[in-house]
Structure 1
Amino acid sequence: MKIAVDARMITRSGIGTCIREWIPRVKYSIVLGKEEDLRDYKNSFESLVPFDCGIYGYKEQLKFPYRKLKKQKPDVLHIPHCNVPLFYRGKMIVTIHDLTHLIYPQFLPFRAVLWYFKFIFRFATWRANRILTDSESTKRDIIRFFHTPEEKITVVPLGVGSEFVKKSAADLEYLYEKFSIPRNKKLLIYVGNLLPHKNLSTLQEALAQMPARENCRLILVGKAFDGRTRANREAELGISNLTIHAGVVNQEDLANLYNLADLFVLPSLYEGFGLPVLEAMACGTPVACSNTSSLPEVGGNFAHYFNPTNATEMAAVIQSALNCKAEESEKLIAHAQEFNWEKSSQKIIEIAKQVAEEA
């Protein structure tokens, strides 16, 4: 069986993380993307079909390598997001991670963007032979928006990278100087971006309301936090001195920062899965997150939940979670280990095989 995959997003976070983990495990026969992006994975697939084009929009449809891919004769094409090739006629499985753009259209910059995503999601759900999604929550959303038959959708949970493990205090010592982190403070960590649905502003409000906030520091990790110019609410809320902008970090530093933190906080209004929740738990770090969308599925009975629209409740839950007993870390690690990339990849192979064998 020859499975092809569109791997153009491999260098990104989120979907890119999935592609990086799936490629060596699913062992796709054919990979679409840029040779330079896939150099480290060349032993994991048989052939590369060059495809260098940005995602979303008409250009990727016109530049999709239809003829070159047809010559490779894949049994199934895996599209790891909603942007399916409109003119492809072979069998196809599509992973839809979330429907954020449709559930929170008010956060989109232009109405035309909403029209685009409405069309492409609807086309993807109609055209795909099988739809894969990360959570039962997103599966319900797809059924609600597009009336897709339930049997056409398979939930394939994501996994946790092997780099996310519990570390010793000695392994973390360098972080204090590297990121200017003060000692003897309670450390909160947020990993992500500044997209509106991530709801960082409410987390900032919650920090400002905490009675013991002077004893806390909020570490912000992600591309959006390379500089302080975009943190326009910190001075207004009086938490500038409580916030540390770590910016983009490598995977080793990320795992170590999770370990160093006393609590990981995810205030999102909506998540298709919420991978950082598992990453933090795999490091033995307690988690406080929203009680919405897929997050209760991922966090199970091991996370502390709050209403993401209520800063006062969020502050109270965070304060309570900071007192979480250290011995609970083993339970968090065991829970995170239930989600792994081997299971995820094997499920993709099984679904691709079923589709390939269908008449």
Structure 2
Amino acid sequence: MKVLVEALAAEFGGIRTYVEQLLAAWEIAYPDDELTVLVPVGSDLPTGSHRRRELAIPGPDIVARPLVHTLAIRRLVAETGADAVLATLPNTSLRHPGVPLTVVVHDLRHELRPEQFSRGRRLVRALAYGRAYRLADHIVSVSQRSLDDLHRLHPQMTATPSSVVHHGADHVPQQEFRPHRGPAVAFAHHTNKNPDLVLAAWALATATGVEVPELLLVGTGSDRERLTARAVEHGVGDQVTMAPYLDDAAFADALADASAIVFPSSFEGFGLPVLEGMLASVPVVIGPEPATQEVAGGWAAVAEGWSAAELLDAVQRACAYDVQHLESARRHAASFTWQRTVEQTRATLGR
């Protein structure tokens, strides 16, 4: 099979992890397939032995990109003899590529949590995603939660064939259980990760004498000063370490000794840190959010609500998990493989 893979947006975060691991697993599972991967000029996204085409966007991205993108897709389909196009994000050509088009839907956060996006970003997404939905011959959703959101917000999409294809997690080394004495790891690179709620839970623990591990808050970025001030205000400044967004190696090191993964995200399309923690035999804490509960499969401690007290209760339950529970959680997470992701994705292209 010859596939044109659109990866123009896979530069960082979860979408980069998804594309990078998908391409690597595809190379192993289907070595005879010919994949051409479209990336921006200067991209450092690894594409392995797959063909690589870099696309330059002259002028303002918001204006030039749709036209350049459309022309490039049509040209590359003709040049490569592609049997199908896989758009790894709902931001694709303005015209149908002329061969079956599968569009991957990660989440609809810009519609369900519009306050987390600028007005311009919401407009761009609405236009680009709406067009991609109309052009798609098949939808691949990374979770049932995202597919349900798509069908509820865009009921016309129920007529488009769709599949739920979960991410893999086996890029994370599996570890046998051992006592983890490092800090709990939480996230701050997007507002939906709820870092303020985590700090409030740690403050409540201090105020009530509840013992919790120290906290490593990763992905603080431009919000570092505000979060540092909030931690000091809560009286937990000496218990919290603020860290930038960690690369894969640094995150693996943090995970290796973490006491817990605290992930009370208010909105996820999938929630890869849930599985990453389980594979490392680390207790995982999540909020009452559909996608993370779908991924966790009952093996994470779920906060009953969005208050500091409810999150702290879940942290205490997670930290009390025994070896048997953590081993069962690890086996559950190990069933999410990138080979399965590739097999199911490729099957949609074959249709």
TM-score relative to the length of structure 1: 0.85
Partner AA of 1:199 in structure 2: N
1:49 aligns with 53
1:304-319 maps to which residues of 2 (within 5 A)? 304-319=301-316
2:290 aligns with 293
Partner AA of 1:152 in structure 2: P
How far is 1:217 from its partner? 0.8
- Aligned length in residues: 337
Q: Which has the larger displacement, 212-221 or 344-353?
A: 212-221
Contact 1:234 1:240 in 2 (8 A): yes
Is 2:165 the partner of 1:156? yes
How far is 1:306 from its partner? 1.0
Match of 1:329 among 319, 326, 329: 326
1:288 alignment partner, SS class? strand
How far is 1:50 from its partner? 2.0
1:14 aligns with 14
2:263 aligns with 266
TM-superposition CA deviations, 1:29-52 (whole Å, max 9, x none): 211114754684341x2x322214
Cα separation, 2, equivalents of 1:62 and 1:18: 26
2:228 alignment partner, SS class? coil
1:1-359 maps to which residues of 2 (within 5 A)? 1-27=1-27, 28-34=34-40, 37=43, 40-43=46-49, 45=50, 47-53=51-57, 57-64=62-69, 65-69=72-76, 70-90=78-98, 91-110=100-119, 112-147=120-155, 148-149=157-158, 152-166=161-175, 187-191=183-187, 193=189, 195-210=190-205, 211-212=208-209, 215-222=212-219, 224=221, 228=225, 231-354=228-351
Structure 1's 290 and 53: CA in aligned 2 closer, same or farther, altered over 3 A?
farther
Q: Which has the larger displacement, 17-26 or 115-124?
A: 115-124
Structure 1's 34 and 161: CA in aligned 2 closer, same or farther, altered over 3 A?
farther
1:106 alignment partner, SS class? helix
Contact 1:281 1:287 in 2 (8 A): yes
Contact 2:16 2:45 in 1 (8 A): no
Cα separation, 1, equivalents of 2:61 and 2:330: 37
Q: CA RMSD in A?
A: 2.7
Q: Which has the larger displacement, 276-285 or 54-63?
A: 54-63
Contact 2:213 2:259 in 1 (8 A): no
TM-superposition CA deviations, 1:111-157 (whole Å, max 9, x none): x4323322322222221000111111111000000011166221000
Cα separation, 2, equivalents of 1:60 and 1:308: 42
Partner AA of 2:21 in structure 1: E
Contact 1:101 1:114 in 2 (8 A): yes
Q: Which has the larger displacement, 2-11 or 52-61?
A: 52-61
TM-superposition CA deviations, 1:183-207 (whole Å, max 9, x none): xx673111451x2222211111111
TM-superposition CA deviations, 1:306-355 (whole Å, max 9, x none): 1452221111111222122234221111010111100001111111011x
1:302 alignment partner, SS class? coil
Cα separation, 1, equivalents of 2:224 and 2:178: 28
Q: Which has the larger displacement, 138-147 or 235-244?
A: 235-244
Structure 1's 67 and 124: CA in aligned 2 closer, same or farther, altered over 3 A?
closer
TM-score relative to the length of structure 2: 0.87
Structure 1's 11 and 108: CA in aligned 2 closer, same or farther, altered over 3 A?
closer
Contact 1:305 1:317 in 2 (8 A): yes
Cα separation, 1, equivalents of 2:328 and 2:20: 28
Contact 1:9 1:19 in 2 (8 A): no
Structure 1's 339 and 237: CA in aligned 2 closer, same or farther, altered over 3 A?
same
Percent identity over the alignment is 22
How far is 1:53 from its partner? 4.2
Q: Which has the larger displacement, 299-308 or 125-134?
A: 299-308
How far is 1:297 from its partner? 0.8
2:31 aligns with none
Give unpaired runs (5+ residues) of structure 1: 173-184, 355-359
Cα separation, 1, equivalents of 2:82 and 2:193: 38
